[in-house]
Structure 1
Amino acid sequence: MTRFHSGRKVTHKFGAVRTERDGIKFDSKAEGDYYDLLKQQQAAGQLVGFTRQPTFHLPGGTRYVSDFLCFWADGRVDTRDVKGVETEGFTIKWREVQSAYPWMTFLKVKRSGKGWKEEA
């Protein structure tokens, strides 16, 4: 996506295209598409509900912000991050949040063909 900052043309370094769904702005088209999928799963009764951008506080005063916190009809609760490119900073925080919150299930979600692939 091309943006303008102080009169300069700025492009996202990973090529992510900001998008909007239901008046909500998402950092990438993939994240917006996954939001659509979660809404479909909620309408089908598989998902009780979900919230966006839950924050997890980490040692050292840092924080990890996930894309979605999901509450499933079968009682599961997990957090999901829609990923395209994994940066070194993400990888470090990913390990830290899993260590700090061992009772929570953290999943990375990536496009896989026409569907999605979940990774722990």
Structure 2
Amino acid sequence: MTQQRMSAAEYRAGKSKIEKPRKFRNEPIVVDGRRYASKREAAYCEELIQLEKAGRIGGLELQKRFPLLGPTGEVICVYVADAAFFDHEQGRLRVIDVKGAPETEAFKLKRKMMRVLKGIEVEVVR
């Protein structure tokens, strides 16, 4: 009886082809060289880009990182918003998170931390 063996490289190559389903069934997408976590996020952010070109909003930052600091100044965690921009009509900074799935406990905690530590209300767009 003969056993066939595969090399470690062959095993890794075969294993990498197996893709497990995504946690929230989202489908990442690339639009104009920008990577988005979902089609919904891509559509919303592309709309924001057009609003910035039209001059209705300014300072648009996609995937804006907000370090959340503890009482002694150490970074506790980092909240990454889908978009942050200045809304000229409302005269204020807006921080947006596009959600298609239920909010996770981690998101709820970071959202509260943004409100308490930075005074910023994160808006959820569905």
Q: Shorter-chain TM-score: which interval? A: 0.7 to 0.9
**Per-residue deviation at 1:106?**
2.0
> Pick from 37, 48, 52: which aligns with 1:27?
37
Q: Which has the larger radius of gyration?
A: 2
Q: Are residue 46 (structure 1) and residue 56 (structure 2) matched?
A: yes
Deviations 1:9-55 (A, max 9, x none): 22212110111111001111111001121022223321123011122
- Please report how far the alpha carbon of residue 78 of structure 1 lies from its aligned counterpart in structure 2 after TM superposition: 1.3
TM-score, scaled relative to structure 1: 0.77
1:90 to 104, 107, 117: 107
TM-score calculated relative to the size of structure 2: 0.74
Cα distance change, pair 37–63 in 1 and its aligned pair in 2 (3 A): same
What residue number does 1:6 align with? 16
* Match of residue 72 from structure 1: 87
Aligned counterparts of 1:73 and 1:61: Cα–Cα separation in 2:
32
Q: Which residue of 2 aligns with 1:63?
A: 78
Count of residue pairs the alignment pairs up: 106
1:90-112 CA-to-partner distances (Å, cap 9, x unmatched) read 1111111111111x3421111xx
Paired with 2:87 and 2:124, the residues of 1 have a C-alpha distance of 17
SS state at 2:124 partner: strand
Which sections of structure 1, spanning at least 5 residues, go unmatched?
Answer: 111-120
> Larger % of helix: which?
2
Once the 2 structures are TM-superposed, how far is the Cα of residue 73 of structure 1 from its aligned partner? 2.4
Cα contact 2:111–2:121 (8 A) shared by 1 = no
- Could you say what secondary structure the match of 2:125 adopts? strand
Name whichever structure is richer in strand by fraction.
1
Q: What's the RMSD between the two structures over aligned residues? A: 1.9
How far is the alpha carbon of 1:5 from its aligned partner? 6.6
The list of structure 1 runs, each at least 4 consecutive aligned residues, that deviate by more than 3 angstroms after superposition, is none
Using the alignment, how far apart are the partners of 2:93 and 2:43 within structure 1?
A: 21
